[in-house]
A = this chain, B = another copy of it.
Amino acid sequence: MAVAGVDLGGTKIQTVVVVNGEVAGTDRTATPPKGPDDVLDAIAATVRSALEQSGQSELTAVGIGTPGEIDESAGAVSLAKNVPGFADRVELGPQIAKRLGGVEVRVDNDVSVATLGEVRRGAGRPFKDLLGVFVGTGVGGGVVLGGELRTGRGAAGEIGHTVVKHEGRTCTCGRRGCLEAYAGRASMEARARKLVDKGRTTVLFEVMKDKGRDRLTSGVFAAALDHGDEMAAELIEDAVWALGVGLASAQNLLDVEAIILGGGLGDRLGEPFLERVRSSMKPHLFVSDRAPTLLGTELRDLSGAVGAAVLAGG
């Protein structure tokens, strides 16, 4: 039984095919800059390629994790502003089903499925109460209490829009002072461009070009840090600070056993980054001598895709 899981992001599309609970094929591509048709075609192409790699010929189902607002029953998504062409409503499920010969497609929130991936197949397995936090183009979260993902009225987990600073930086959501305005890739890039406009220097955009990228990915940040780039260090410092405030406030409210910190930044910068976030949380924790276990993901950049496969029964 082959089930595909797709993690649709503003930067990349990551797909897996799961057979008997194991990842048997993977494919990954940059998210096309024009959408929505190019993006839909690209998703279908990754599924075909991962299926081929898995050695299976037939798909049972496809799960897709996507940003934006989900209409679960219709398999549609709206307001996924980070994905080209997805600001308006896209009939994601039906469109992918059409491209893949009518297979069943289930669609859910990208961060919810990434949390599901880590809870069922990754670092979250030992815990009943945990928070999944994914630092990618934006910053999203998944709340798991009593072993169940808590979705509220469908929009829970938006830890990226915790207010960490009064009248702070403008967020991609248009509000001010959100965690995502400091720790989301898109906001960090906007901030870097603003600082360059103000006359500050950095190797960030050079490294970006050298790496053949058109965005400041977490890999670009990591390389710039290795170059001793001051601006990169400053932006990461701000992200660490904002994560400390936002995660500690969430911890004070929920008192979870563990926080799993994933997404590009968490995965790429690894344990030293986690250690800095632990220190940054500490001064704000109400029960400061019993911090939650702060862990990286186990599935790394496959959390979302594996979780999407789990969503579809894989």
A contacts, CB < 8 Å to B: 129, 141, 143, 145-146, 148, 150-159, 161-166, 168, 173, 175, 245, 248-250, 252-257, 283-284, 286-287, 290
Contact = CB atoms under 8 A, between A and B. Distances in A.
Interface centre among A129, A143, A255, A284 (most CB of B within 10 A): A255
A84 B306 CA distance: 54
Contacts of A256: 152-153
A9 B129 CA distance: 30
A290 B156 CA distance: 12
A253 B157 contact: yes
Contacts of A164: 163, 166
Given A158-B253, A166-B166, A253-B254, 7 more contacts: A146-B150, A157-B253, A159-B253, A162-B252, A163-B249, A249-B249, A253-B253
Contact of A152 (B161, B175, B248, B255): B255
B245 A166 contact: yes
Main secondary structure of the interface of A (DSSP, over half): loop
B252 A286 contact: no
B248 A286 contact: no
A252 B173 CA distance: 13
Q: Which 9 A-B pairs have the closest CB atoms?
A: A152-B255, A156-B255, A158-B252, A161-B286, A162-B249, A158-B286, A161-B252, A155-B255, A155-B287
Nearest to A241: B166
B284 A175 contact: yes
A182 to B, nearest CB: 11
Contacts of A162: 249, 252-253
Nearest to A159: B253
A25 to B, nearest CB: 35
A283 B168 CA distance: 13
A78 B158 CA distance: 34
A154 B129 CA distance: 12
A284 B248 CA distance: 18
Contacts of A156: 253-255
A165 B177 CA distance: 10
A129 B175 CA distance: 26
A18 to B, nearest CB: 29
A184 B235 CA distance: 34
B250 A283 contact: no
28 contacts: A129-B150, A129-B152, A129-B153, A143-B254, A145-B145, A151-B255, A152-B256, A152-B257, A153-B257, A155-B286, A155-B287, A155-B290, A156-B255, A157-B253, A161-B249, A161-B284, A161-B286, A162-B253, A163-B245, A163-B248, A163-B249, A165-B165, A166-B166, A173-B286, A175-B286, A249-B249, A253-B253, A253-B254
